[in-house]
Structure 1
Amino acid sequence: MSKLRLGLVGIGMMGRNHARVLNSIDDIELVSVADPAGDQHGTAGDAVVVATVSEMIAQGIEAAVVAIPTTFHLQAGLELADAGIHTMIEKPLATDSAESERLVDVFENAGLTNAVGHIERFNPALRALRTRLENGDLGDIYQVATRRQGPFPHRSFDVGVVKDLATHDIDLTAWVIQSPYAVVSAHTAHKSGREHEDLISITAMMIDGTVASHLVNWLSPLKERVTVVTGEKGAFIADTLHGDLTFHENGVVATEWEQVRSFRGVTEGNSTRFAIPKPEPLLVQHRNFRDAILGRSNDIVTMREGLATVAVADACITSAREGRAVQIAEGKA
């Protein structure tokens, strides 16, 4: 069977990870890499390194991954769609909803497989969590709370922490509980002297009534990636840094110590950390993109879904700027 001929736009910090994984998949051939700075770290393997997207397309690629700063996503995406190239673009899909909608339109109208690199959907902890929620292991879902914080990554200067990091939490929350956002209220801060915000606190209501909150920053020496889903039967905690999923269930044994019992709404039950397979999320993401192109399955994050996430991120920025809650436009989330 012939290999899927693939191109990579950008071989910076994230692009190097893409190149490593793509070169490890047997039925994918990384044919060409486009980066005006060249392959400075020698990670392109046997791929032909060129300066532009058009030169990369000329190498006879069938599909492409775009891993360049968000500001350039629209230009690269339009060029690839015009050439009939199936494309996955790193998250966020584009700088704002208007640019994202243009990309959705051109790829859907061309009938091309299109995807966004929302890698958290391929994290083993979150995939196991979604399955357990679907099975009713938590009963009614009450709240989703996420924390995503750490030091500045020295890779993203064209967007702030909302588009760079909070889009992970926005996307994974709607996906895990399978309900879009209804309204958001947010506050941001600028503490590190950069143009864009480096801290945000978001409170949201989902369409199904679930309350969500996201704490995101580039200011903490502690790196944390945690999702807590609380519901009728207890709480799930997904640690996506380590791919761990834990369930703290509500207890069925009454607390006899009156002084302790008076401070508890529910009693403590058993805690279980699940043993789950832990494949590398980026590897799963690329295999699924390949399978979608070949018609084997459709377990990808489409550009239309990526548009919904950018729309929520835009609403969060508007909320923080204008000091008000913002309704999410119907069909955008």
Structure 2
Amino acid sequence: MKPSSGPISADPVRPISPISPRILCISLGSIGRRHLRNTRALLPQARIAVWRQRAGAGAALPEGADEVVTSLQQALAFMPDAVLVSSPASEHVANARPFVQRNLPVFLEKPLAARSADLGDFPALCRASSGFTMVGYVLRFLPALHAIRQALRDGLLGQVHTARAEVGQYLPDWRPGSDYRQGVSSQQRLGGGALLELSHEIDYATWLFGWPQSLQCSRARLSSLEIDVEDSAHVLLEYTDKRISLQLDFLQRVVHMAVQIVGSKGTLVADLVRQELRLTDPANPQGRSLAAPALPDGNDIYLRQFDFFFAKALAGYQPVDPQTPGFDGWADVDSAHKVLGLIDLAKQASDTGLRQTVPFAQAPA
């Protein structure tokens, strides 16, 4: 078997880097606070500034930060070595643009924007920049998905005919202590809704299977949740030789993430919450487990993501995970742009009831 790419060990990530870069964190919502904590853990000697765009002068200093800035002028004067953008999706491009233009490394949370139309020349700007840019499709760092990708590459399933990816969690349970109605996920103007917020599944489906030729979609608000976006979406990705269905929802009372792939040689079922994979085939009708190291902590996947980003972005950074230097599974701006394009097409398909042709159909690498 070929070696799997990516961080696949299960050892906890530990802070060891002695460098002291200047890191700018833009916005401090739930994911922004996580990124701030993880940045401090991986870069204990860094100087970290938080750009609070909705806070006035004298804003409280967040735990783990060294200073607060409240304007672009102050953010630029901080002279960051790398920038982490965790604002609402509708603000990503505007927040990142000044730093990409200055050839700084930039990490953008997913999705890349609320609509493809909001991007303008931003993808081209990122390609032209000498600074490293990546998008936070963090499931690309999950060992179980790398094991699935390797099983496909090794031909364990034969020709893939169908696959199904599912994700669901009850929206009010996402961030305990917060009013879900005020969150980004609940509001159309901020880039909420199941298709955008749960686009990890769209990203990894296309990472595993390539870009489809066409798609169909049905999205709706089926619950009594007080939101102005869809709480569920069913997407069918259509390829010349297979069909991939995606179920994304804010409804399931127990967190659920699962994948089933049906091939000519066998069927693979994966529970991504438990990080367990099982393959059934004629020789193993009861199934057999496939090796996939389980990450011991829910935050570890985010630490691994930033171990990779800092290794690419900061001179002198010493990666914690031995797999990081050879990792090749990260999501760049161009692939995230295509994911956003699929979401736009999915919304059109649902609103019109018509199948949509995908202009950038392509097989996986």
TM-score normalised by the shorter chain: which range applies? 0.7 to 0.9
Aligned to 2:195: 162
- Judged with a 3 Å threshold, the aligned counterparts in structure 2 of structure 1 residues 43 and 132 are, in CA distance, closer, same or farther, namely farther
Higher relative contact order (Cα pairs below 8 Å, separated by 6+ residues) = 2
Aligned to 1:330: 360
The question of whether the paired residues in 1 share the 8 Å contact of 2:144 and 2:292 is answered with no
Distance 1:43 1:129 in 2: 39
Which residue, out of 190, 197, 209, partners 2:230? 197
Q: Secondary structure in 1 aligned to 2:283?
A: coil
Displacement, 1:136? 2.0
Q: How many residues align?
A: 315
Distance 2:32 2:272 in 1: 21
Aligned 1:243-262 pairs, distance under 5 A = 244-252=275-283
Aligned residue identity for 2:46: E
Identical-pair percentage? 19
The question of whether the paired residues in 2 share the 8 Å contact of 1:251 and 1:269 is answered with no
Distance 2:270 2:45 in 1: 31
Which residue, out of 311, 320, 323, partners 1:291? 311
Aligned to 1:259: none
Q: Secondary structure in 2 aligned to 1:145?
A: strand
Displacement, 1:41? 9.2
Aligned 1:1-333 pairs, distance under 5 A = 2-26=19-43, 29-37=46-54, 44-152=63-171, 153=174, 154=180, 155-156=183-184, 157=187, 158=190, 159-165=192-198, 167-177=199-209, 179-191=210-222, 192-206=225-239, 209-242=241-274, 244-252=275-283, 268-272=285-289, 274-278=291-295, 280-294=300-314, 299=328, 300-330=330-360
Distance 1:54 1:298 in 2: 35
The question of whether the paired residues in 2 share the 8 Å contact of 1:90 and 1:116 is answered with yes
- Judged with a 3 Å threshold, the aligned counterparts in structure 2 of structure 1 residues 42 and 229 are, in CA distance, closer, same or farther, namely farther
Structure 2 alignment gaps of length 5 or more: 1-17, 175-179, 316-324
Distance 1:32 1:60 in 2: 10
Q: Secondary structure in 2 aligned to 1:15?
A: helix
- Judged with a 3 Å threshold, the aligned counterparts in structure 2 of structure 1 residues 124 and 163 are, in CA distance, closer, same or farther, namely same
Aligned residue identity for 1:249: T
TM-score using structure 2 length? 0.79
- Judged with a 3 Å threshold, the aligned counterparts in structure 2 of structure 1 residues 111 and 251 are, in CA distance, closer, same or farther, namely same
Distance 2:357 2:92 in 1: 27
Aligned residue identity for 2:214: V
Displacement, 1:275? 5.0
Displacement, 1:119? 0.8
Q: Over aligned residue pairs, what C-alpha RMSD do you find?
A: 2.6
Aligned to 2:11: none
Aligned residue identity for 1:49: V
Cα distance per residue 1:37-91 (max 9 Å; x no partner)? 5699975414312223442232121111111111111210212223332111100
Aligned residue identity for 1:196: V
Distance 2:63 2:53 in 1: 14
Aligned to 2:322: none
Distance 2:59 2:252 in 1: 30
Cα distance per residue 1:246-283 (max 9 Å; x no partner)? 12221337xxxxxxxxxxxxxx2433153515262111
The question of whether the paired residues in 1 share the 8 Å contact of 2:268 and 2:278 is answered with yes
- Bigger Cα displacement from structure 2, 30-39 vs 301-310: 30-39
- Judged with a 3 Å threshold, the aligned counterparts in structure 2 of structure 1 residues 28 and 189 are, in CA distance, closer, same or farther, namely farther
The question of whether the paired residues in 1 share the 8 Å contact of 2:143 and 2:292 is answered with no
Aligned residue identity for 2:31: M
Distance 1:134 1:56 in 2: 44
Distance 1:316 1:41 in 2: 41
Displacement, 1:332? 9.1
Cα distance per residue 1:213-270 (max 9 Å; x no partner)? 011111232321112222123222232323x1312221337xxxxxxxxxxxxxx243
- Judged with a 3 Å threshold, the aligned counterparts in structure 2 of structure 1 residues 252 and 320 are, in CA distance, closer, same or farther, namely same
Aligned residue identity for 2:231: D
Distance 2:154 2:77 in 1: 48
Distance 2:128 2:358 in 1: 25
Aligned residue identity for 1:67: S
Distance 1:76 1:25 in 2: 24
